[in-house]
Structure 1
């Protein structure tokens, strides 16, 4: 059976032969996006650290669907072997994992990098593997998420009742509800049309995705809430990983960690650049959020209650202490 025939039957394209392996990746974005560049770096690093033959088949521009599709494929061990995903989109199988992507979790980039360079997220990694059979092999991210809206939002009065899209994990809606907005979970590929048709008035995202998917066309106002510094795990199907030879498994783990470092540096450095590019092109108007410190105070009880409900109060304190 050829590798093409394997994929045609819906199986992830991974050969059991140590010298003949194909791993399929998926990205919703084009070749210029930091996620794509990070996955390309991952492939390069695996081949540098493995003596056998590995082919990487990376499908771009949402060819294999969106993150909710990737999640199902990874969990079942079909069609997608590795990708980069938002933790909140994995809550379906791992209820605790959105903690690492919770708004207002990190004080600044130094705090974010210290946490991701440590093993503080290990309990969440173990839960994801146990409940979804998905492995975290590295951490990328680094985009700063802000509010993007059709009309300007300057302060809490403007945010009150604001109909906005959030990711599917309940903590996302809880945080923005506490800030008096009116959040709802809408599929990512429906956001553009939802703003265009008035179903929502905005959402939250980082500069790279705003630019890549041209969200500024329907929501040109960016408010600098800086509520999230993104954590984006590089993930692999556990079923795929277990099929690999031991030396290739070791190469994958090493490459995942190193690609994560590469991706964090890339995306965090690109974020301000991409924001400025859109400003210079007249695509967006940017303003600060008045009295942002008040937002931090308003969300603390929600964060604490969420962590307590997961039995993860100690983990939250460990992250805060980094």
Structure 2
């Protein structure tokens, strides 16, 4: 049986227990994570499960499929939109672009000045109009915001400024804004599936990728890209998503528990990831697995990307939100 057939079989089986008929057996909710128990995303989803059980106070079952058992985040989002196989999961906004053009704006490059600015934007709920659009177009609810990892560029050679990065073949996420932003900065962006990045660098197809510490550690990207250029070009926002089709079938008291737990689990995930970020890099550097390379041209890189971001925000109709984010002190 090949991988696609195996995955299809797993999804078919997983889909059997997503929802229980009213008044029959205990409701089962199925979640998905690309990562293992140690990853911040998985920890946030486990906390979500614990909080739902606490706030609901009635019997309910959860099945969390880890280690990409049900594929990748893009597929989880499609399953949630269809109301089958996956009821909840953490998904990068870039993977929502098929349904909502505005979605990838949530954590586009150079959107946030620093972690403090990022927290203030989330606390002010400035992204709510985008979440509303995603719920309307994809029928997937963003019930909390995890993330908090600062993204840098891991490379197979040391690069410390824009001149040395010129033409660098770097893997970016699938949303067009990522390719446009990196191209504006003089790099050569390439869209490659997340699980193929390691081999692509190893085989010389690309020179680099970009990720937060948790991903670099989990995927062992440091083995093929041991030089971490500290561009700090993005701070991740990873929404905890919940299928709208599933949500509508839940009893009202469980719906309330899901919404409350989602918000709190997101805040927990942000705290976990942002606090683990530098600790993971410290440990990897101490073990001789990677080297942090100070990046001299972050301000210049941002200046090159800013017009692209402004045009993108206007194009997708979120220029007001973009202005509000920039005005947040």
TM-score over 0.5 for the pair? yes
Q: Residue in 2 aligned with 1:289?
A: 295
Of 10-19 and 30-39, more deviation after overlay is shown by 10-19
- Aligned match of 1:181 in 180, 183, 187? 187
- Aligned match of 1:300 in 283, 297, 306? 306
Following superposition, the deviation at residue 7 of structure 1 comes to: 5.5
Q: How many residues align?
A: 318
SS of the residue 1:231 aligns to: strand
Counterpart CA distance in 2 for 1:117 and 1:257 is 11
TM-score, normalised relative to structure 1:
0.96
Counterpart CA distance in 1 for 2:277 and 2:17 is 33
Q: 1:17-63: per-residue Cα shift (whole Å, max 9, x none)?
A: 36711111111111000000000000001111002211110011111
Of 112-121 and 300-309, more deviation after overlay is shown by 112-121
Q: Residue in 1 aligned with 2:135?
A: 129
Following superposition, the deviation at residue 127 of structure 1 comes to: 0.9
Counterpart CA distance in 2 for 1:17 and 1:102 is 41
Counterpart CA distance in 2 for 1:317 and 1:97 is 17
Following superposition, the deviation at residue 8 of structure 1 comes to: 2.5
Following superposition, the deviation at residue 10 of structure 1 comes to: 3.6
CA contact (8 A) 1:137 1:236 kept: yes
Of 22-31 and 47-56, more deviation after overlay is shown by 47-56
Following superposition, the deviation at residue 320 of structure 1 comes to: 1.8
Counterpart CA distance in 1 for 2:273 and 2:46 is 14
Counterpart CA distance in 2 for 1:29 and 1:119 is 28
SS of the residue 1:232 aligns to: strand
Of 5-14 and 265-274, more deviation after overlay is shown by 5-14
- Residue 234 of structure 2 is aligned to residue 228 of structure 1: yes
SS of the residue 2:275 aligns to: helix
- Aligned match of 1:8 in 4, 8, 13? 13
Pairs within 5 Å for 1:1-322: 8=13, 10-11=15-16, 13-17=18-22, 20-322=26-328
Following superposition, the deviation at residue 290 of structure 1 comes to: 1.3
Following superposition, the deviation at residue 177 of structure 1 comes to: 0.3
Counterpart CA distance in 1 for 2:273 and 2:11 is 34
Following superposition, the deviation at residue 312 of structure 1 comes to: 1.3
SS of the residue 2:48 aligns to: helix
CA contact (8 A) 1:30 1:60 kept: yes
Gaps of 5+ in 2: 1-9
CA contact (8 A) 1:6 1:12 kept: no
Counterpart CA distance in 1 for 2:117 and 2:163 is 30
Q: 1:6 to 1:167 in 2, by over 3 A?
A: closer
Gaps of 5+ in 1: none
Following superposition, the deviation at residue 9 of structure 1 comes to: 7.7
Counterpart CA distance in 1 for 2:160 and 2:16 is 49
Following superposition, the deviation at residue 122 of structure 1 comes to: 1.0
CA contact (8 A) 1:148 1:220 kept: yes
Following superposition, the deviation at residue 11 of structure 1 comes to: 4.7
